[in-house]
Structure 1
């Protein structure tokens, strides 16, 4: 087969597929790195946030949860029956709902305290300072990191919801076309 229009198209398709694969690998590595960073920051500052003790725990769990629930994704094994696919889908939905609920909890803990700790007039009640101060303290690097991670998690959650909505819409349109063909 000589060089022609089809050869160029095949090359473009191969380059596009390779670019998509590389992009997916980069995204997976970046998300794994963020999960590890959350676990490390939560563990390092586990006892350094008395204003809200659950912020470091939120970081640790939100770093571990995608790793734990990630193994429940749908398997493309041809030998597996519909029951395995349904089980994988149910576990994936449970993991998604857990991550959403945990993100809401983390936002309730992080956002108000971020505003308090990073305010210019923030003074923790320590030693002889007892008036005009705030009970509890939180390491600024921890609260800033937690704020950034909560915001980033909301962005990813929004993207996931849009993607899931598009997939559901596509499935619904596909089933309507099949219904029309049956009539």
Structure 2
């Protein structure tokens, strides 16, 4: 009777070790998406140098939730190439292209706004200055978001390549 309780305890410990990181990742991803949406919407009109930066944050926060929530269904016959797989591929390609667009909008503007040489044009300063500016916390958050999203995208691409090699390469 004591041995059965020990096995149950071992299974519970294994389940906790496996499920806790998964639950943490899901909650962190959800919070990360909400943070993007909030930052983009709060500072929607605060970036005159590139008005698409807040839009990038909002869409990049919403799109993973939409693609994950609406595209999970696969075929009932057990085949893996169902509507969920096709929708997942479309979602991946959309997120990749949106990340490229965000990088084009954020990175050059971040460099020009955060350097020590940055000066905003005023009545007294009219040479070597920028008239259009962006909220510093917004551009910093957007830049960090682009870097983090590229890291996640790189890991995801490596994982997908590994799966493809495993399935089709026989490794």
Q: 1:163 to 1:36 in 2, by over 3 A?
A: same
> Secondary structure of 1:18's partner?
helix
Deviations 1:4-25 (A, max 9, x none): 9xx66x7545423321111111
Aligned-CA RMSD value = 2.4
Residue 158 in structure 1 maps to residue 171 in structure 2:
no
Closer, same or farther: CA 72–89 of 1 in aligned 2, 3 Å: farther
- Which contiguous aligned blocks of 4+ residues in structure 1 show a shift greater than 4 angstroms? 10-14, 82-85
8 A contact 1:48–1:138 mirrored in 2: yes
Residue in structure 2 matching 1:113, options 109, 115, 120: 109
Once the two structures are superposed, the pairs formed by residues 84-123 of structure 1 within 5 Å of their partners are: 86-123=82-119
With structure 1 as the length reference, what TM-score do the two structures score? 0.82
Q: How far is 1:132 from its partner? A: 1.6
TM-score (norm 2): 0.88
* Residue range with higher mean Cα deviation, 67-76 or 150-159: 67-76
Tell me, yes or no, if structure 1 residue 29 matches structure 2 residue 12.
Answer: no
Contact 1:65 1:99 survives alignment (8 Å): yes
**Paired residues for 1:58-73 under 5 Å:** 58-73=56-71
Match of 1:116, SS state, is helix
Q: Radius of gyration: which is bigger?
A: 1
Report the Cα offset of residue 71 of structure 1. 1.4
* Structure 2 segments unaligned to the other structure (5+ residues): none
Deviation for aligned residue 1:2: 6.5
Of 163, 169, 179, the residue aligned with 2:165 is: 169
Q: Secondary structure at the match of 1:71?
A: helix
- Report how many aligned residue pairs link the two structures: 170
Q: Structure 1: state its 5+ residue gaps.
A: 178-183
CA distance in 1, matches of 2:97, 2:128: 35
State the partner residue of 2:143: 147
Once the two structures are superposed, residues 126-173 of structure 1 have per-residue CA deviations (whole angstroms, 9 ceiling, x without a partner) of 445322212310111000000111110011101111111122122125
